[in-house]
Structure 1
């Protein structure tokens, strides 16, 4: 079977959306207001658009060269229109894709031809439990350390914050969901998104969260985006 290519409206951002992760968006630019209207009215079917991270040091207006090759679809869950025409959106990450080409001439926003990026099929039969447990432990350490650094005291996380994400240890998307609420560097999140082996993905997320927990503990700091667009366009 040949590669299936589909068309998606594209929303470049200074962040990486992962499958299963929530992404709230504040829409104020005219081109993305139009994208929201097209999604809500059904002009664009499916209420989905593609989120792709802008390369660090680049701008969303720099064209195809400024975009990472792999992104994730965002499914529109809630829309609230503000009196001045802006929108507040709630979206959830769904499917990974690879950019084939990008068109900047047929709509106010970018439109991309994409191919879907599934996991390696032979890897799903592998036993993920040991690595998944280690990744969950790293996630708990990261969250506990972040809680303490934010003034939560020296104890463990409160019960309501200590609840682990729902997926079980055999879920191939567990790494994405664990990383979804952690302030990992953009490069780490992009590497997770592009990784098609569930085992390597769990290894990556464990290593990233372990490293960031050490930095939190020793330097009392977490990574933050330094490029200007990371602030301006993540709100968009």
Structure 2
């Protein structure tokens, strides 16, 4: 079964359970915000977040480019500009600012596979199929290993940043929730985050994270300090 969702492309990856703050100022996304606000109070105000593939932010223009695709800013076939798997964002709060923009707060809920993109309207619409969440074999023991590795990684990263960790963070027991939290909190590039989002199940994601955390911890441990750009790179969350 498929569904249609408004799309909000970002240069970052949204994971289920994670909060997404957005400052909206581009006209096409203002139109989306207005339509979300116009929905009945009891209606879900959902949209799909898809990560933009590297190098696809600027669309070609000129003869032969369909108006819809060019207007959307992602070329004649917008679907090619995005990764195939995204995440539904459920709007928690949305308000208009004095300058006509919007402040939006949403939470990631469900992963989806992007089947096609319609660029004929004021903003992109996607035909999507929702992806089932499964634990996978060995998710529980893997979760315990990842938690230990993640705490070691945090300590090593805090040392590289020349600061100390505050009180130990409580981590969720649910393997799927843990896998998404670790994926979001690990300092890695968008393609790596996307690979974690696309993992078939929680166990596969945790297994990948265990390798990643051990590698990143080893790399940080060999460096006297990390470049500021590496330590502060975070997903941008506004358009």
Q: TM-score range by the shorter chain?
A: 0.7 to 0.9
Question: What does residue 20 of structure 1 align with?
Answer: 17
The aligned counterpart of 2:204 is 200
**RMSD (Å) for aligned C-alpha atoms:** 2.3
Query: What residue in structure 1 maps to residue 150 of structure 2?
Result: 139
In structure 1, stretches of 5+ residues that fail to align are none
Does residue 58 in structure 1 map to residue 56 in structure 2?
yes
Distance 1:196 1:223, change over 3 A: farther
Query: 1:186 matched to which residue of 2?
Result: 190
Separation of aligned partners in 2, 1:75 and 1:48:
5
Which of 163, 172, 178 aligns to 2:169? It is 163
**Cα distance in 1 between the residues matched to 2:122 and 2:231:** 33
**More helix per residue: 1 or 2?**
1
The more displaced of 197-206 and 7-16 is: 197-206
Task: Verify the 8 A CA contact 1:13 1:51 in the aligned structure 2.
Answer: yes
Structure 2 Cα separation of the partners of residues 37 and 213 of structure 1: 44
Q: How does 1:23-172 map to 2 (within 5 A)?
A: 23-42=20-39, 45-59=43-57, 61-62=74-75, 63-105=78-120, 107-120=121-134, 124=136, 126-153=137-164, 157-159=165-167, 162-165=168-171, 167-168=172-173, 170-172=174-176
The structural deviation recorded for 1:209 is 2.5
The question of whether the paired residues in 1 share the 8 Å contact of 2:115 and 2:129 is answered with yes
Q: Is the 8 A contact 1:184 1:209 kept in 2?
A: no
Partner of 2:238: 235
Give the drift of 1:43.
7.3
Structure 1 contact 185–224 (Cα < 8 Å) conserved: no
Partners of 1:102 and 1:215 lie apart in 2 by: 40
Secondary structure, aligned partner of 1:184 = coil
Distance 2:200 2:238 in 1: 29
TM-score calculated relative to the size of structure 1: 0.83
Q: Distance in 2 between matches of 1:61 and 1:82?
A: 27
Q: Secondary structure at the match of 1:83?
A: coil
Unaligned runs of 5+ in 2: 58-72
- Alignment deviations for residues 46-101 of structure 1 (CA, whole Å, 9 cap, x no partner): 11100001111211623111111110001111223221011222211110001111
The Cα of 1:133 is off from its aligned counterpart by 1.1
